[in-house]
Amino acid sequence: MERDREAVAFCPGHISGWFKPVFIAAEGLPGSVGGGIVIDRGVGSTAVPSDEIKVTCLYTGSDGSVLKTVEGSSPVEHALKTAGITGEIVTRSDLPPESGFGLSGAAIVSSLAAASRVTGTRLSKEQIFRIAYETEVSLRTGLGDVPAIAGGGYVCRRSPGLKGEIIRRYDMEQPIFVLNFGPLPTAGVLGEENAVKRIEDAYSGSCPGSPEEFFRTAGEFSERSGFVTPEVCDVLSACASGKIPAFMTMLGNGVAAYGSRAFAVFRDFGTPEEMHMSKTGFTGDGGDKK
């Protein structure tokens, strides 16, 4: 079987605006329903052949310079073991982990895609999504991110899981700005009974028909969720005063706002990250060196 010397793959991230954990009885797995935006920034992975699994995570600035190196990633290692493949993986992301960008899911998907090509295993996109989904829900690092990033757009997931009903709309054309105030690990929040109860109470099942409606629905969920931190509250208030659509990123200690006017408001509170809606989600495309 032909193997590549090095393979790379990229997977977009996903920002949840609202969600509710739902068990998928038919699959015996947890999942969630909710709404989010598939974004054009995420995780790139490079894989080279190795008999062992080794993962190094590079967190970079927007200019690509490495700010932090972390050895190991439990979600990526778990997924490679499940797939029965080995490889030396380097992940690269210019967004922070544990901040509501769905990067655990993106790191698993891009790493499985790259590693499967260097080992010659050639997993299909569907196999990659299935392993990524099962890894995420078993480690509680995500519930709905993998179904969302399997396509593009801003999404309304009406039923849970990879086979769930997902409505995708693509008319979110303006830039999205995100301000982040630090980590909020997903597994910790999902393990708190009170937090899950608050999420269930805050959830409304409506699917938005426009970007403005999306940000309004997400903003209402932020208010009702009880997750809003003092920093997030200040930014949301400033956005409301300026009539800028905004919501708290789930699950991260941050705010996402719509349109270029958000930049000036955010700049008073920190360094905003600019991103756009991804039209495609994960495509499986990537360069290989033979």
Query: Which residues contact ligand 2JD by CB under 6 A?
Result: 16, 19, 32, 34, 36, 100-102, 104, 141-145, 186, 250-252
**19 is in the binding site of which of ligand ADP, ligand 2JD, none (Cβ under 5 to 8 A by kind)?**
ligand 2JD
Please provide the distance, in angstroms rounded to a whole number, between the alpha carbons at the two ends of the chain. 13
Least distance from C-beta 43 to ligand ADP, angstroms? Answer: 4
Residue 75 binds ligand ADP, judged by CB under 6 A: yes
**76 is in the binding site of which of ligand ADP, ligand 2JD, none (Cβ under 5 to 8 A by kind)?**
ligand ADP
d(CA 152, CA 164): 15
Interface of this chain with ligand ADP, residues 84 to 113, rule: CB under 6 A: 91, 93, 97-104, 107
Radius of gyration of the chain (CA): 18
Residue 43 binds ligand ADP, judged by CB under 6 A: yes
d(CA 111, CA 88): 10
CA angle 8, 11, 13 (to 5 degrees): 150
Closest C-alpha to 67, from 104, 97, 98: 97
Least distance from C-beta 19 to ligand 2JD, angstroms? Answer: 3
Residue 248 binds ligand ADP, judged by CB under 6 A: no
**34 is in the binding site of which of ligand 2JD, ligand ADP, none (Cβ under 5 to 8 A by kind)?**
ligand 2JD
CA distances for 54 relative to 77, 111, 112, 183, angstroms = 8, 11, 13, 24
Residue 73 binds ligand ADP, judged by CB under 6 A: yes
